Amino acid sequence: MRYIVLALVIAGCPLAAQTARRTAEQIDSALAAHKAEFDYLLGDWEFTAKSKQWGEFRGYWSAVKLDEGQILDEYRVVGDSGETYYVTTTLRNYNGAADRWELIGADAGRGLLDFGTGKKVGNEIHIEQRFGVAAGDSAITRIRYHNIQPDRFSWTADRSPDGGRTWVTQSQTIEARRIGPARTIGALAPARNKK
């Protein structure tokens, strides 16, 4: 009986609680192995998009690598005269303890609620992210970055407005073309000698 109870307790524990903690060396090793996976996104891009929800649109996307390896990017939808219709900023950071990329989106005045996770799968990057949390129109989006080349990439998203019960496949697609080189930002608060 005691073994049955123990088995039930273990089965009921979250998976994270059942896995062993990673050592600092394992975390550093995982970071070293994965830190360049979003480097294709670095630089400036122009894109065209098709959405089942919003129709066709275009915009610009720029990404930089911060001094410690995080990726900061800005995605901007514009009109024909260059007016901004929508802009969002995303911070991407590799979590060596969980062995995955983590993302947080920030729209001005909407908080930091669009959390997602990602990983490299073959030659693609796959992300699952929840959007629209602050606006009360939350949906899960499964994103694939694919056809990744030095001068272009494709982006395809499936969207579930009901927590994953049903999916709108290819709810949005993006074709991006490079218009500026990859770039990085040095330390914002560099170490200095005390005088």
Cα–Cα nearest to 114, from 145, 135, 143, 85: 135
Say yes or no to pLDDT of 116 above 90: yes
**pLDDT given at position 17:** 45
For the residues 87-101, what does the mean pLDDT come to?
95
Query: Tell me, what's the pLDDT at 22?
Result: 85
Residue-wise pLDDT tens digits, 171-188:
999 999 999 999 999 998
How many other C-beta atoms lie within 10 A of the C-beta of residue 68?
A: 10
Q: Mean per-residue pLDDT for 80-96?
A: 94
d(CA 46, CA 62): 9
Q: How far apart are CA 174 and CA 156, in angstroms?
A: 6
Q: Which residues of 161-170 are buried (b: 16+ CB within 10 A; e: fewer)?
A: beeeeeeeee
Torsion of CA 155, 178, 78, 66, to 10 degrees: 80
pLDDT average, residue stretch 90-104: 95
Rg (CA), the chain: 20
Question: What residue spans define the domains of the chain?
Answer: 12-180
Write down the pLDDT at residue 182.
Answer: 95
**What was the pLDDT predicted at 1?**
41
CB atoms within 10 A of CB 121: 10
The rounded mean pLDDT for the chain is 87
pLDDT for 135 = 67
- CATH dotted code for 12-180: 2.40.128.20
Averaged pLDDT, 111-136 = 87
pLDDT tens-digit readout, 12-33 = 444 444 457 889 899 889 888 9
Whether 134 has a pLDDT exceeding 70, the answer reads no
Q: Sorting pLDDT into bands at 50, 70 and 90, what band is 119?
A: very high
